[in-house]
Structure formats: structure tokens, C-alpha cells
């Protein structure tokens, strides 16, 4: 969640607890659980820490890391 949320510009936080709090402020409470799980899944399957699969990413256009690399 931390990595993906920062890479796509949803938050600019280094602390996971602050990231979660900022995301909860952005999202309606009924959407938080689904969004949280989708961010986890995306981080594990596509937006990996060391070798992200940017070519397979459906939201690559939002990604600040890809734009700067």
C-alpha cells in the first residue's frame, strides 16, 4: 500500500501509518477495505519494490516512478 500509493501520487508519506490515515481521508469509508486490498494486490503482482512490471501496469500513466525512470 505504501509503495503503490506513493508511486501513483495518492500520498507523499514515508510512514505507513500516515499513509493509511491519508488514504482514509481521501476515500469514502465504504471503499477503504476494497481499495486497501487492491493496492496490496497491485503491489505484490505488478508494482514490486525492486523490479516493478511497468509494462504490465494498467495505471502506469499515473506512476511518478515510471515517469522519472
Answer for the pair 22, 13: CB distance below 8 angstroms, yes or no. yes
- Is 65 a residue whose pLDDT tops 90? no
Q: What percent of the chain has pLDDT over 90?
A: 91
Q: Which domain holds residue 33?
A: 2-68
Which tens digit of pLDDT belongs to each residue from 14-34?
Answer: 999 999 999 999 999 999 999
CATH number for position 46: 1.10.1670.10
C-alpha cell at 47: 508494482
Confidence at residue 8, expressed as pLDDT on a 0 to 100 scale? 94
C-alpha cell at 28: 469514502
Q: What is the mean pLDDT of residues 32-60?
A: 95
Q: How many domains are there within the chain?
A: 1
- Is 67 a residue whose pLDDT tops 90? no
Amino acid at each position: 500500500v505504501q509503495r503503490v500509493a506513493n508511486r501513483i501520487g495518492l500520498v507523499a508519506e514515508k510512514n505507513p501509518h500516515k499513509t493509511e490515515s491519508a488514504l482514509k481521508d481521501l476515500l469514502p469509508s465504504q471503499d477503504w477495505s476494497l481499495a486497501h486490498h487492491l493496492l496490496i494486490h497491485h503491489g505484490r503482482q505488478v508494482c514490486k519494490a525492486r523490479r516493478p512490471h511497468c509494462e504490465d501496469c494498467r495505471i502506469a500513466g499515473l506512476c511518478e516512478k515510471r515517469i522519472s525512470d
